[in-house]
Amino acid sequence: MVEFDNSFYEPEIRCGYNVSSMRKQIWAKELEIISVFDEICSKHGLRYWAAYGTLLGAVRHHGFIPWDDDVDLCMPREDYVRAARIMREELPDPYEWQDLYSNLETCTPEEITTHHLLPFAKICNRMTTAIVPPAMPPVINQGIWIDIFPYDEGFDGQGLTPEAFQIEKALCAATFGKPELKEKLLSPEFEPIMDREDLKAIIEMPMIDRFRIFEQMLESVVGVSSTYSYKHGEIFNGSRPMDKAYFAETLRVPFEGVEIPIPGGYHDLLTLWFGDYRKPVMEGGHITIYNPEVPYTDYFENPDKYIDTLKIGVD
């Protein structure tokens, strides 16, 4: 387990931004999760890399972006599938692997909204608090977390065929789309690539079964494309696929006194995501109720007791 001396928690100015002692405490909890995750991944030969703002922070700041408060990691689908099983078995208390399956299995349909049903995983520390409004039901772990995104085959028009990509889009829309999108999928003017009755049957299934079919489709085409994709983002938000060559080499770089793996092609990847990434732009951060010392269950039971809990956005 990574440990920090008292100097780590001292407030400081970075890039003109006041990094508070509380933010440092939150970072420390996230770094502890990374350390545990990294050890288990190394043991089992699981590939992962820093992604998005975490990769940007690693390259530009050798640590967190000063005004950021989260950790984003990514894994190829085949490693992510193994990690989901291994982490459930080997993560020590108080850490927990949380994904759409665990959320749906824990909650009744009335307790959870689609706002909290996303196709990636978190590792949470149940002895801390990190509640993102609107709050999930207390049965779901809402401790300080790191995000882990599965990367699937991007649409390159070659290995991943247009037909397969259209099926992925239909299944993604059937799983995560709003009611009006699902109605459109079944309307006479829409020509789905898959059988309309099959699509209707999938839409009428419970969420957990729809998602399982969607993931099975993604797993069935592993290794066919020259690019990676965060599939939900590519289909719903138009995010662009990433050349697998960016990930061919892995580098381990300093990050707040520990080391994390990053893709060897980080420059091209960061340029794809951020453009001129070298120039700091003060934005981002979650609006989250944080307390690194109090379990989220205690907060739900007596929120008034923790009225001084810090809310962090771009503060």
Q: Which tens digit of pLDDT belongs to each residue from 121-144?
A: 999 999 999 998 877 888 899 999
pLDDT of residue 314: 45
- The owner of tokens 């300080």 is 144
Q: Are 153 and 241 in contact (CB under 8 A)?
A: no
CA-CA distance, 260 to 245, in Å (whole number)?
19
pLDDT of residue 262: 98
Q: Would the pLDDT of 51 be above 60?
A: yes
Q: CA dist 105 to 176, 216, 241, Å?
A: 17, 19, 31
pLDDT of residue 126: 97
CA-CA distance, 23 to 54, in Å (whole number)?
15
Strand 121-125 and strand 129-131: the pairing is unpaired
CA-CA distance, 226 to 228, in Å (whole number)?
7
**Within 10 Å of residue 205's Cβ, how many Cβ atoms?**
14
CA-CA distance, 238 to 251, in Å (whole number)?
28
**Three-state DSSP class for 204?**
coil
CA-CA distance, 212 to 102, in Å (whole number)?
13
Q: Are 296 and 143 in contact (CB under 8 A)?
A: yes
Q: Would the pLDDT of 190 be above 90?
A: no
Strand 72-76 and strand 144-153: the pairing is parallel
Q: Are 247 and 263 in contact (CB under 8 A)?
A: yes
H or E segment to which residue 109 belongs: none
CA-CA distance, 52 to 285, in Å (whole number)?
12
Assign 157 a pLDDT band (cuts: 50, 70, 90).
Answer: confident
**281-293 burial, b for 16+ CB within 10 Å, e for fewer?**
eeeebbebbbbbe
Q: 3-state secondary structure string, 251-275?
A: EEEEECCEEEEEECCHHHHHHHHHC
Strand partners, 121: 148
pLDDT of residue 123: 98
Which is nearest to 292 in space by CA: 6, 64, 23, 66?
23
Which burial class, exposed, middle or buried, applies to 145 when counting CB atoms under 10 A from its CB (0-12, 13-18, 19+)?
Answer: buried
What's the mean pLDDT when you consider all of the chain?
91
Q: Would the pLDDT of 26 be above 70?
A: yes
Q: Are 130 and 22 in contact (CB under 8 A)?
A: no
Give me the mean pLDDT over the 75-103 stretch. 97
Domains of the chain plus CATH, in order, are 6-152+244-312 (3.30.460), 162-220 (no CATH)
